[in-house]
Each structure stands twice: as C-alpha cells, then as structure tokens.
A and B are shown apart, each in its own frame.
Chain A
C-alpha cells in the first residue's frame, strides 16, 4: 500500500489545475441547483432508479455526448500541439496521455454508449415490445458503463492518466515500463464498463429473439433491429476475450504474474492477439448498428422500402463472421509468418465484399426515390462518399506487403477516422435528428442542423484528408512533435484548422439542442417524417408503456403499410387491458457506485480496501436474489387518459417535412 500521497492529485500543469477547479465548481453547482429547484426526488425517481428502456437509452446518450466533449478536447489538444513544428504546448508525456485517453474515450465511452443508447430507445419500440427482456439488468448495464466511464475520467486529475495508447501494447503497458498507476485505470475501468456491455448484449439477443410482436418474423424485422441483433451476438462472442485480456493485464500489473512480461516466460504478443481478437469485432460492434440507422433513415427519406433487404441481412451476418477472422491485420509488421499475413490479408479484403453490397443497396434504395433533404438524410448522404474513402484506404492497408509502408503512420490514422467518423458519428447524428422527436416530442431545428452538418463535414475532411498525404510522406502517428525540415508544417496546420471547424460543428449541435429544447414547436404529430416502422405508431414522446394495444404486423415496413391501407385503428376502449410493467429499483445504481469505489481502490493497488468494498457488491447481489418484486399494473383509466391526450387532437395531421 505504499502510496505516495503527494502524487495522489496530479499537480503542476495549469491545464489540469483548471480542470480540477472546473470539476469542483461544476459538482458544487449541480448539487446546489438540484437542491434549489428541489429536484432530488425527481432525479432519484425518474432517472437514477429507472428501468424504462427509453430513459436508460437517453441516459446512455447523455453520457455519450458528455464524453464526446471530453474526447473532443483531447483531439483538439493534439491538433493544437502538432499545428506547428517544435511546438511546446504539450510535453511528450502529456501528449502520450492525451492520445491514449482520446482513443479509449471515443471508442468505449462515446461510440458504445451512444449506439447502445439508440438501441435501447429504438429496438423495443421497433419490435412492438414494452421493455427489454431484463429491465433491471439493463439498468445495471448502464450504471456499470457509467461508473467505468467516471473511473476512467478521474484518472487525469487523480493518480495520472494511462499513457500507453488505446491499444496498451505490452511490454510498454506493463509495470516495468509504465510503473505509475495510470494503466491500472485502463485495466479496471474498461473491465467494469465491459461487464455492462456484455450484459447489454445478452439482453438484446433475448429481447429480439423472444419479444417481437405478433406477425413479425425474423425477416420482417426493421433493419436497425437486425443490425442490433447481430451486434449483440458479436458482443457476446467477443467481450469475454477482452474481459480475460484486461484481467490478465491487471494480474500482471498488480499481482506480479507473467502473462505479457518479458521476464518469466511471458509473451508480449499474446496481449496484441487477445486485444485485437476483441478489438476488431469491436469495430463492427460500433459500425453495424450505425449501418442499421442509415438503413432506416435512407429508406424513410427516399420514401422507398430498403433495397435488397435479404442481401443486407446476409451481408451483416457475413461481416459478423469475418470480423472474428481478421485481427492479425492490426500487426502485420510484428513478426508473423508470411502465410499468416497472407491469410489475414485475404480475409480482410473479403470484408469489403459484404460492405460493398450494403453501400450499393443504399444507393439503389435512393434510386428513383423522392428524396427529402432533411438534416438526418444529409448525414446519410454524406456517409456514402466519405465512408468509401475510409473503406478503400482500408483495402490498401489490408495488403500486408504494402502495410509495411503505411503501418504506424498518419495514413492509418486518417483511414480509421474516415471509417469511424462517417461510419459511426455521421449515422449517430442522423439518429439524433431522426429519433429526437420520438424521444422528446419536438424536432431539432433543421436550419441550425444544416449549419451543424456543413461545419462538421467540411471540418472533418479538412482535418483528416491531409493526414493521408502526411502519412505517405512518412509522418508517424503518436509523435508529439516534428522538425521544420520534415516539411509537415503546412498540412499539419491545415489539419488543426479543420479540427477547429469540426469542433465548431459540434458546438452548433449543442446549441441546437439548447435552442430546440427552449423554442421548438411542441405541436408535432407522432409521425413527423412519414416514417415506416412501428416506433412511429405511438405517441411522441413515447408513453412509459410504449403501446396501449399491441399492433399486429403483416409485412416489412409495417407502419407504412398500415398507413397506406388505412389500417390504423382508432382506439377502442374495450380492447384496452391492464398493462404489466417492471418496478423501479435502486440496486443497479447502488451496484454502479460500489463498483466505482472497489475499482478505485484496485486502481491504487489497495487490495485489502478493494476486497472490503467488494463485500458491497455481494451485498447487492444477495439483496437482488431475495427481491421478488413482481412489477405493477397500469390501470385502464390511466391508459385511456394518456391515449386520448395524444390521439385525435388534430396533431396527427400536421406534417413537418415538406
């Protein structure tokens, strides 16, 4: 327990000191505001103890946006540091920490929570269910993700940030070369968040298999539900590998074992293999639901059924299988046999085939469609060319021999940003604009949305396009500075300017949320986009039991056909029955907190304190085991009252898209 208390708080850097002060002020401000407005009870009842999949989805999205801000500031700091040669804004150590946390935060605490948030909100509505299969487990998933994110984020003010890259390769990430506790934050925080994600995966597999509405066969499911299903399967198949890898890392760092060390017979390449055995499927975990979002948005705004539905399903299934067979392409240059490199080269290139099928399907969906250029649709349209650039450079990188030139250069950095930003962030923005009215009952301002769109896409291209050329000229990634003679200066400066525009785009989104929350028209219909799937058949914002009477599905795009065939029934009060719903519970919130405390102790290698704190975990489990809460019933009167407040009041005719 030899902790050096003088190093407990990170000191000596004005940027970090400012953050520490800001954190304290924000916390005090939040507590004061909640007390002043008497909102504690509301916070507890409506959010902290909720098991409603819609609220949990919104909580995930909130965490994702906050973390986007954090990861974005890291990115801006990197671009600022490299904007001119020999810059001294950040030193080498600080730069290492910033690119490490940028990567981890963006993948695990931005992309994942945002996508799982959208899945949470949308999937049960699309399949006509009233919640997920295990509502309490769903809340636990969220609170574990949240406490993982918080634990990871406090690292930069308490104890020091991890600094071995988001891949944390050994031997660098081991105790020998990273003696501080920074990398413990990586191992423990991601373990906690990963457990939450695994539970989400199981939850959604069961939800989609067992809770689909009458008539909705697997091949009548909306495409977003399909991609969420396949994503959940990949989660179940790949996250346990990460669990093991992180556990072994923890053992190596805290208990002195020899899994990845150089001494004692350990093998550092074992970490690289385990990490990417999870890490590559992880790429598809974030990109597949995003593909599902695009399918919904494109089909809605092209006003056509998705082209090649079955080939889409086959493609995502193939992508899921192939995603498990390509991991070695992340380290072609790290001493594999040429036979192994050839095999993984070919499997990697094969992924381009189903992905290409999907791109052509989207294009054919739009062909001869009457496209409406809403903000959501603009994101989907911008996705296609930008993502193709990312995909094609991916095929270039897949050639093992050529990869010896590209490896570890900014060319690679440009490639994966061209995959992940158009492939995940653009669709997520599309999802915000598309499903926002369903979540909150008002539309995000379309005009401000277009500012957001143009600033972000232009800024994105300006930031990352130069990196392709810088990389080909030999600029290596993760280098905190470069000399003037390299000639990288002008393109690096261009990239930094692009990053500012990109950040301005994000700021416009935040402003749009603020503006729309205050001024947007609340008098919108439950179906403002004239959409096609079941979530649009119920109220906006959705009432807590989702559907008063469960509809029956006969075809793909069920709601669209109901509208076309005038099958939307007015509410018949005799058909309404009491609805059984799950009760709120404090256990998931409590569990998130004890995991946070126990994890914090483990990070500081106070193993006895961590063991004592984990008694709290078992207490929660035992309490849950004896909890026989049966949920509650929503009464008929309440349902009739809620339903008549949104049906037949003249809102249903107003269409906000022209």
Chain B
C-alpha cells in the first residue's frame, strides 16, 4: 500500500498497487476464460439442435463476418500501438490510436447489430431453437463485452485528457488493453468454431 515509485519500470508497473491491479486483472481474465469456455461448451452441445428452424448455412454470410473479423483484429493491433505510444510517453499519439481503436470497435459492433437484426427479420430469434439461443447468448456476451469496453475506454480517454499520463492512468490504459486483446482472442474462437465450422458442417 506504500506509494513507493520505481521509475526503472514502465509507467504502469511503477507502484505496488499498480502491479497488484494488473495481476488481479489477469486473474479476472482467467475467470472470463472459464465464462466463455462454458458458453462455447453450451454452443457445442446445442449448436446442432435446430428444432426445425434455420441452420448455420441458412444464416451466416461469410463476407460480412470476414469484415467484422478484420475490423476487430485491426482494432487489437491499433490498441497495441496505443500502448506502445504510452510506453514512449506520447500522450497525443496514444489518444489518437485509442480513438482509432474505438472507431474500429464501434464499426464491429455496428455490423454485429446489423447481423442480428437481419437474422431476427428472417425469423431466427433466440426463442426459435436451442441452436439460436446458444448462438445469440454466446455472441451477445462477446458483443456486450465490446460495448462495455468502448464505454470504459471513453471514460479513460476523458481521464487521460484531464490528468495526462500518470502511473494510475497508465495502469488503467494498460488494463483495458489487456481486456481488448482478450476480446479479440475470444472472437477468433467464435469465428473459427461458430462461423467457419458452421458453414462447413
């Protein structure tokens, strides 16, 4: 709890409280992995139970999903650049890349909502079949995480503008970076096991 600052380390690791927060967040991500693993397990069990409703091949449009994937993967890359700029103590560059990340994330989210509305208009709702229940809840949980991440990052950008780069704001930015990359990893699994596997089955 002491406020000793070790300037030899990167900004976000300089205080003991910061180091604890970052470790705590890694452990939280561990819990998130269990959460998504359970949802993937549920989808694995229910994904082929269509109950006479539409199947994966009837719904998925690979082009749109591909664009979503590229948007989110790119946003992970730009988030990495933002953290790189933070390490160089370039507040302005960091903010620019953070905003680009959020725009890409927002684009992803827009496309996902479009996709969901499209499905619902086709009569494929989460009440239709076990497959669609598990599909919407798995994807929806990921989408909700992206939404919360965007809201959280906006709060952080305001704080960065107010306070500049301090050990505390740097730690907060670093942690949201971890979170963003994690969502990207989850998406890669969704892309592979939900979309690609669904289209070839």
Contacts and interface: CB of A to CB of B under 8 A. Distances in A.
A14 interface: no
Interface string B150-189: 0110011001000100001000000000000000000000
B70 to A, nearest CB: 29
A240 B133 contact: no
Interface stretch (B17-25, B85-93, B114-122, B192-200): B17-25
Interface residues of B, number: 41
B31 A236 contact: yes
B81 interface: no
Contacts of A248: 42, 137
Contact of A244 (B30, B35, B163): B35
Given A206-B27, A210-B20, A625-B159, A266 B133 contact: yes
Contact of B2 (A244, A255, A580): A580
B110 interface: no
A274 B28 CA distance: 20
A622 interface: yes
B137 A251 contact: yes
- The listed residue with most A CB atoms (<10 A of its CB), out of B31, B156, B168, is B31
B176 to A, nearest CB: 11
B86 to A, nearest CB: 18
A576 interface: no
Q: How many A residues are at the interface, by size bracket?
A: 35 or more
Nearest to A578: B2
Contacts of A625: 152, 155-156, 159
A240 B46 contact: no
A356 interface: no
A424 B28 CA distance: 27
Nearest to B49: A265
A304 interface: no
Nearest to A237: B34
Nearest to B30: A236
B148 to A, nearest CB: 9
Nearest to A232: B27
Contacts of B23: 206, 209-210
Interface stretch (A256-264, A464-472, A555-563): A256-264
B74 interface: no
Nearest to B17: A133
A630 B66 CA distance: 46
A49 interface: no
A204 to B, nearest CB: 10
A618 B155 CA distance: 12
A240 B42 contact: no
A258 B125 CA distance: 11
Nearest to A207: B20
Given A257-B127, A625-B152, A205 B27 contact: yes
A631 B136 CA distance: 43
Contact of B129 (A130, A238, A258): A258
Contacts of B2: 580
Contacts of A158: none
24 contacts: A133-B24, A202-B27, A205-B24, A206-B20, A206-B27, A236-B27, A237-B31, A240-B31, A240-B38, A244-B35, A244-B38, A245-B38, A248-B137, A256-B127, A257-B127, A258-B51, A259-B134, A264-B51, A265-B51, A265-B130, A267-B49, A270-B46, A580-B2, A625-B156
The 7 closest A-B pairs by CB, nearest first: A265-B49, A265-B130, A257-B133, A240-B35, A265-B51, A240-B34, A244-B38
Given A237-B30, A265-B46, A267-B46, 14 more contacts: A133-B20, A198-B31, A240-B32, A240-B34, A256-B126, A258-B133, A259-B46, A264-B129, A264-B130, A270-B42, A626-B155, A628-B163, A630-B3, A631-B1
